[in-house]
Structures are given as C-alpha cells and as structure tokens.
Structure 1
Amino acid sequence: MKYWPVLLLSLLPLWAQALEVGERLAPWTLLDQFDQAYTFDKHAQTLLVARSMEAAKLVDAALQGQPKGYLEARHAVFLADIQRMPRLIAKMFAVPHMRDYSYRIMLDRDGRVAPRYPGAQDKVLWLQLKDGQLVAQHEYTTAAQLREALEKARP
C-alpha cells in the first residue's frame, strides 16, 4: 500500500511532457473571438500560445500598429488559453474587447488545446513548425523580443 503514492507521483511527469523537436502536433479546431471556426493543421508555421492575461498582453503589445492579416501572412496562429477566466466576464467584456484587435485569436475556453503545449504561465510560447512537425520552440518574456521574432518570420 505504501508504494501506490510513489508510483502515482512517478507517473505525473508523463502527463505534462514537454514537446520534442520532430514531434507532430495533432490538429484541433477552436473558435476565434468572432466565433469563427479555425482548424489548426500542417499549414501553420508558427503557433503562439498565451496561458495568461500577462502573456496575451505581450502578444498584443508586439502586434500594436501591425496591419490586419499580419499573423496570417506569416502563417502564424495565436492561441489564448482563457479557461480560467470566468465565463460571464469572458462573454460580456473580454471577448467583445478582443474583437477590436487587428488579428485573430483562437480561444481555448475549455482548456482542451493549450495544455498540450506546456510552458510558463507568464511567457509566450513560440512553436516553430514545418508540415505539422515541431522544428523549434522558444519562450518570450517581452513584447520587443516577440516583435523582433515576428519580423524575422517574414513571408
């Protein structure tokens, strides 16, 4: 009986495994801030993941002044994990405010997708992809770093 807790604790890292270079990312479908469906597939070259409001603000600051279609031109997708946001706040205030942005945000309202991509809460996770496989990953802590990386990812 004493071994069960040890066994369970030793299996915990398997549930939160980091992504490995060369790993194929599974497709998913989420709604954006306009309730339009988007299916993530092998055509995406960059996936930006924000797990908190602080991380989402970094993305917003990095994209300030960019024209509509800026992310799409770079084959980049922005995924925001909003599962911890109270639904009423999301529905009444946050999502309507997001409609003013010049870029699309795929909203993970139920935590079905974002947990697949482990990383720090306060950083933006950048997953570089080729044909659906992970080529590289980075984490950004400042809008300036993220903006510079996006500029280098020109189409």
Structure 2
Amino acid sequence: MKAAALLLLCLLSTAVLALEPGERLAPWTLLDQHDVPYTLNDETRILLVARDMDGAKLVNAALEGKPKGYLDERQAVFLADISRMPSVIATLFALPKMRDYNYRILLDRDARIAPRYQASEGEVLWLQLEDGKLEEQRAFKEAGALTNALEAVGK
C-alpha cells in the first residue's frame, strides 16, 4: 500500500512539473563553462535542455563547425545538467574541454533547474519561448534533426 501511494505521489509531482503552452518559465541564473552568469529572461527564444551526457553530445554534434555566436544569433541557450557527473571528472576533464567549445553551456551542477524540464535520457528538449512563455516543446534524438531546426530559426 505504501509503495502504491509513493508511486502515485511521484506521478502526480511529475504531472505538476510538466509545462503547458502559455505558461511562463520561472527565471533562474546559472554559470556557464567560463563561470559567467546567465539569467533566463524574456529575450530568450529557445532553451535547449540536455539531462545527460548523450543529450549534451547530441547538441555538440549539431553545433559542430558552427561559428561563434551561432546560438546567440538565434536567441538560444543550452542548459546541461551535469549533476550526476563526479566533481573530480567535471573539474579535471569535462570543464576544460567545454571551455574550448565556441558556444555557451549553462551548467546545472546541482540539478536545481534542469529537473523542471521533462527531457528524457539521450535527447535534447527544445523549448520555444515568446516573452518568457512556452509556445511549444519538441524533443530531438538525432543531431541532424536538431541542426535542421536551428538552421530554420536562422532564416
């Protein structure tokens, strides 16, 4: 009985967290890979969310070869949940590599922000925003599809 109640509570809390079109995203501030703060604001049009390493690799593949400022031109930001990464690995290996990327990666080190968004394992969640409100959301599992969607925004 306790297990069933716990399962029901988990399902209800997940439903409460799901974003609906027209809903305003709560503002937050995170540091990027260069320790520069970024605050989600009404100017952001696209929020890309990766909850795991496979999702982050998908974004990296989609942005490979793109010029510096590519995401900025599209008013897009990339949020990576790195909370499951051991801090030693993050400090010694992952962050130095991320600093070489020519795009900003907002780092959720403590899983404070990324769990608000329902990105599944191995995918990138695309949240299309207008004045801070959710217009639509899509999920990408292939770098080519994500690249095409980002290119379409630039036109």
| TM-score in terms of structure 2 length | 0.94
Could you say which residue in structure 2 is the equivalent of 1:64? Answer: 64
Q: Is the contact made by 2:50 and 2:119 (CA closer than 8 Å) also made in structure 1?
A: no
Distance 1:91 1:10 in 2: 38
Could you say which residue in structure 1 is the equivalent of 2:14? Answer: 16
Could you say which residue in structure 1 is the equivalent of 2:75? Answer: 75
Structure 1 position 45 matched with structure 2 position 53: no
CA RMSD in angstroms, aligned pairs only: 1.2
Could you say which residue in structure 2 is the equivalent of 1:103? Answer: 103
Distance 2:139 2:97 in 1: 26
Structure 1 position 55 matched with structure 2 position 55: yes
Distance 1:104 1:71 in 2: 8
Distance 2:113 2:46 in 1: 15
Q: CA deviation at 1:5?
A: 4.8
Structure 1 position 35 matched with structure 2 position 58: no
Any runs of at least 4 consecutive aligned residues in structure 1 with deviations exceeding 4 A, and if so which?
A: none
Q: CA deviation at 1:6?
A: 4.0
Q: Which amino acid letter does the alignment assign opposite residue 80 of structure 1?
A: A
Q: CA deviation at 1:8?
A: 3.6
Q: Which amino acid letter does the alignment assign opposite residue 21 of structure 2?
A: V
Percent identity, aligned pairs only?
58
Structure 1 position 138 matched with structure 2 position 128: no
Secondary structure, in 3 states, of the residue corresponding to 1:19?
Answer: coil
Q: CA deviation at 1:100?
A: 0.5
For these two proteins, the number of residue pairs brought into alignment is 153
| TM-score in terms of structure 1 length | 0.94
Mind listing any 5+ residue stretches in structure 1 that lack a counterpart?
Answer: none
Q: Is the contact made by 2:31 and 2:107 (CA closer than 8 Å) also made in structure 1?
A: yes
Mind listing any 5+ residue stretches in structure 2 that lack a counterpart?
Answer: none
Structure 1 position 94 matched with structure 2 position 94: yes
Q: CA deviation at 1:12?
A: 1.5
Secondary structure, in 3 states, of the residue corresponding to 2:100?
Answer: coil
Distance 1:79 1:123 in 2: 13
